């Protein structure tokens, strides 16, 4: 293997182990054994378990943020934005289960960025700007937009964590119910919610 191929192999092995056992439950010895290399090879590429973990978390954060950002098209109707963002997060959970498992755990690496909480904060900031525009249009207090952005992002993220374990019902059904609550509120919920044709 080339150095780049070996590095990629170690990232794949590490990702699987961190998802399965968490940071504390994973050792450099186990990463090396699964990759069929010696421990010094892991240290050479990443400086240790913390370095390997940090690269994996950074990759996952970028992948999820890219998926969510591409859904946040400010020209779309607010309901469609909500639907697309919800589907993007659930799609990431579905397609990158190991990555999502790693992200939702508390990061053991002392850092202020790269954690799931900081990622959700970045997304909430983008949502906040869109909500502020919509609040202005509706004559509502723009000062409340940050709070509502946190509510929306938190609702979707926590539901994603729950859905990670069950995968039932189908992703589109879960998304439709999230949007039903967020868009209609408890007093106006639809009995059989469905996504709009523009959502996906």
Give the model confidence (pLDDT) of 154-199 as tens digits: 888 889 889 988 889 999 999 999 999 988 888 887 788 888 888 7
Q: How many CB atoms are closer than 10 A to CB 91?
A: 18
| pLDDT band at residue 108 using 50, 70 and 90 as cut-offs | very low
Global confidence as pTM: 0.77
Tokens 């799931």, residue?
Answer: 116
Give the model confidence (pLDDT) of 51-91 as tens digits: 999 999 889 888 888 887 788 776 778 788 889 888 988 99
Q: What percent of the chain has pLDDT over 70?
A: 94
Q: Are 33 and 17 in contact (CB under 8 A)?
A: no
Which of the given ranges, 20-34, 103-117, 147-161, has the highest pLDDT on average?
A: 20-34
The residues, ordered by sequence, that sit 6+ positions from 41 with a Cβ below 8 Å of its Cβ are 6, 10, 32, 35
Distance CA 14, CA 26 (A): 8
The structural domains of the chain, with segments of one domain joined by +, span 57-188
Residue 11: per-residue pLDDT: 97
Distance CA 77, CA 85 (A): 12
- Domain at 57-188: CATH architecture: Orthogonal Bundle (1.10)
């Amino acid at each position: 293997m080339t150095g780049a191929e070996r590095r990629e192999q170690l990232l794949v092995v590490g990702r699987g182990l961190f998802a399965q056992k968490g940071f504390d439950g994973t050792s450099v010895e186990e990463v090396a054994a699964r990759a069929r290399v010696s421990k010094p090879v892991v240290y050479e590429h990443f400086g240790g378990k913390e370095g390997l973990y940090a690269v994996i978390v950074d990759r996952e954060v970028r992948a999820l943020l890219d998926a969510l950002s591409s859904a946040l098209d400010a020209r779309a109707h607010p309901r469609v934005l909500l639907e697309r963002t919800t589907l993007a997060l659930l799609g990431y959970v579905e397609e990158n289960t190991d990555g999502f498992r790693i992200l939702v755990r508390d990061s053991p690496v002392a850092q202020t960025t790269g954690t799931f909480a900081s990622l959700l904060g970045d997304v909430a900031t983008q949502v906040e700007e869109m909500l502020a525009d919509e609040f202005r249009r509706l004559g509502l207090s723009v000062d409340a937009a940050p709070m509502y952005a946190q509510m929306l992002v938190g609702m979707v993220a926590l539901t994603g964590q729950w859905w990670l374990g069950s995968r039932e019902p189908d992703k589109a059904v879960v998304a439709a119910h999230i949007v039903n609550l967020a868009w209609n509120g408890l007093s106006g919920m639809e009995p059989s919610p469905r996504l709009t044709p523009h959502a996906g």
